[in-house]
Amino acid sequence: MAQLHQGDISAELIDPLDFDLGSIFKPYFAYAQGKAPPQLQTLTDKIAAADGYVMVSPEYNHSLSPALAHLLNHFGSSLFSYKPSAIVTYSAGQWGGVRAAVGMRSFLSELGCLPVSAMIHVPKAHEVFAEDGSFLEQADAEKWMSYFARTFTQLTWWASAARNQRHEIDPHKLVPAFKRDPAQRNAP
């Protein structure tokens, strides 16, 4: 988080465990205007206000975390699209969640927040980070921070470029969201 707070950039942590979506199966866009449950409305406002996303996930069965997928599945692409994302994965094993990351590229592309090319993978995460997120080995901290910076620099460059272009031209007017039927996406 500290690395993301630079200049005029601010970041907010959204932990799926802080939002009780357990009994909410309907996606946000399926509710009538103003009728969505408060948790969904809060998340919607946060997602809409952001210029980019850092998607952090452990690897579970070579996939992204079910908690993150569940949260993201409550929202359509109109909230995320035309903004970039960065993929950060970790695992207890030696691959750092790369297999989850490959799947996350498709998932996030479908949401419209295309992932930047540089990804962050943290193998044996329990040997790298303490509970509070600090580095267990201070001697390695600089190497990790420089590794993270590559991804975050790509993200902030794209976020700033996309924000400027969204202000120039509203993409949702150029490419209207499908409202009627999923078949509207089909080839003729």
Ligand X SMILES: Cc1cc2nc3c(=O)[nH]c(=O)nc-3n(C[C@H](O)[C@H](O)[C@H](O)COP(=O)(O)O)c2cc1C
Q: What is the DSSP letter of 136?
A: S
Residues 123-162 that bind ligand X (CB under 6 A): 125
| DSSP secondary structure letters along 53-119 | EEEEEE-BTTB--HHHHHHHTTS-GGGTTTS-EEEEEE-SSTTTTHHHHHHHHHHHHHHT-PBPS--
Segment near ligand X (CB under 6 A), from 1-9, 44-52, 85-93, 159-167? 85-93
* Residues 8/39, Cβ–Cβ less than 8 Å: no
Minimum gap (Å) between residue 129 Cβ and ligand X: 10
Q: Using CB under 6 A, which residues numbered 55 to 84 contact ligand X?
A: 58-62
36 vs 119, beta carbon nearer ligand X: 119
Angle at CA of residue 92, ends 62 and 61, nearest 5°: 20
The token pair at 21 is 């979506």
Closest to ligand X by CB, 124 or 150: 124
User: Using CB under 6 A as the criterion, what x/- string covers residues 91-130 for binding ligand X?
Assistant: xxx-x-----------------------------x-----
Q: What DSSP letter does each residue of 137-149 carry, written as one string?
A: -HHHHHHHHHHHH
Rg (CA), the chain: 18
Q: DSSP assignment, residue 21? A: -
What is the side-by-side strand order in the sheet with 85-90? 53-58, 85-90, 120-122
- Which range in 40-48, 87-95, 139-147, 156-164 contacts ligand X by CB under 6 A? 87-95
CB of 147 to ligand X, least distance (A): 19
- Give the residue with the Cβ less far from ligand X, 56 or 108: 56
Number of residues that bind ligand X (CB under 6 A): 10
Q: Which residue, 8 or 131, has its beta carbon nearer to ligand X?
A: 131
Of 17 and 183, which has the nearer Cβ to ligand X?
Answer: 17
- What does the binding site for ligand X look like in residue numbers (CB under 6 A)? 58-62, 91-93, 95, 125
